Structure 1
Amino acid sequence: MPQGATTVPSQDELAIADEVGSQLIRLVRLIERKQVQYQAEHPDAVERATYHLLVHLVKDGPRRAGSLAEAVYSDPSTISRQIGHLVRLGLVERTADPVDGRATLLAATAEGRRVFEENRRIRNEKIAQMLESWSGEDRAALADLLARFTTDFESETSRPAEPAAAPIDVAAARH
């Protein structure tokens, strides 16, 4: 098959893809609803997108804002505003880049790492509770398949878009 060519999915493959897509939309909506509820109950909580920057700085170490923007697929101006918020909260600090003193490195503070670890512990406990009735094999399979799907999704979204045969009605596609 020529490079870039794709096969036409079978009806069974399309039916499974439709079910996966529907369940993903359902999951995203549930997560968004839970986030709104959490924000309402904790008005001082950091927005999910902003918190995601802290996660990257804790896991990957200090980095420049441009590198952080690339890592989270975001615009540098958005990152700048979000980092400013994390700095004001004392979760992130700016330091001079030792390689280029004109540049700034962003790093999680000790408080930022503590907040990350606490949130991660709570998240992991909640997920473990949700999956406690699942067999060990099912839990492991979910983790493996979800990681595989996420990696493939990430690879797919980083490719240039192919021209669509027809415009997509985004509102209708969500249903």
Structure 2
Amino acid sequence: MVTPKPDAPSAELSSTEVERGERLANAIMGFGKQQGAFIARMNRTTGIDRSAFILLKNLLHLGPSRSRALAEAVHSDPSTVSRQVATLVKDGLVERRADPEDGRASLLAVTAAGVRLLEEQRARFALSLTRMVRHWEPADLDHFIELFERFLGDHQDYLPIMINECAGPVRSEGESR
């Protein structure tokens, strides 16, 4: 058994579990690197950065919302989201609406142009992924999708804990608190 460090969760993990976690972390980091390259290229060709797509997708999912609720949904600082939303409003992808419950506040909503952009991007991405895995056995692909969807659900649920676990400063093994 591997005993967790003082600031780690209290449950003990076996060395096999830790090894699997390291393999998963390496795979995710490799995927993240590939996605980073993809996203950088997409930013240059579409003129819209990844954070804009994240905000648009979350806002579409939430429905008309206050900026603070959007910031919470994307685990970001409200002032950062406010600046990003200003650009989306300027680009016609998001609009501000009066909040019917509080006339002093406004709600953010994705415009028809924003919805169109998301739908077009998702369709292109889905077709590209389909071409990438078309040589997979259908049962393997179905199983992978099922497991990946399960992983994403668990990741979403665990994300606040993960942020707390991983947000601290990195210390070397011999360094004390």
Conserved 8 A contact 1:91-1:110: yes
1:59 to 47, 58, 61: 61
- Superposition RMSD on alpha carbons, in Å? 2.2
How far apart, CA to CA, are the structure 2 residues paired with 1:147 and 1:168? 33
Shift in Å, 1:162? 5.8
Give the 3 Å change call, closer, same or farther, for CA 87–167 of structure 1 in structure 2.
Answer: closer
- In the other structure, the counterpart of 1:14 is 18
Shift in Å, 1:12? 2.6
Detail structure 1 runs of 4+ shifted over 3 Å in the superposition.
160-163, 166-169
Conserved 8 A contact 1:53-1:68: yes
The residue correspondences of 1:59-138 to structure 2 (distance < 5 A) are 59-138=61-140
Structure 2 residue identity aligned to 1:21? A
Aligned residues: 161
How far apart, CA to CA, are the structure 2 residues paired with 1:162 and 1:109? 37
TM-score norm. by structure 2 comes to 0.81
Give the 3 Å change call, closer, same or farther, for CA 147–116 of structure 1 in structure 2.
Answer: same
Query: After alignment, is 25-34 or 136-145 more displaced?
Result: 136-145
- In the other structure, the counterpart of 2:30 is 26
How far apart, CA to CA, are the structure 2 residues paired with 1:127 and 1:60? 26
Conserved 8 A contact 1:39-1:45: yes
Conserved 8 A contact 2:43-2:50: no
Structure 2 residue identity aligned to 1:14? V
- Greater RCO structure (CA 8 Å; 6+ sep): 1
Identity of aligned residues (%): 33
Structure 1: gaps of 5 or more residues: 170-175
- In the other structure, the counterpart of 1:36 is 40
How far apart, CA to CA, are the structure 1 residues paired with 2:67 and 2:106? 8
Conserved 8 A contact 1:58-1:116: no
Structure 2 residue identity aligned to 1:68? L
How far apart, CA to CA, are the structure 2 residues paired with 1:161 and 1:57? 24
How far apart, CA to CA, are the structure 2 residues paired with 1:75 and 1:52? 14
Structure 2 residue identity aligned to 1:37? R
Structure 2: gaps of 5 or more residues: 1-8, 173-177
How far apart, CA to CA, are the structure 2 residues paired with 1:85 and 1:6? 44
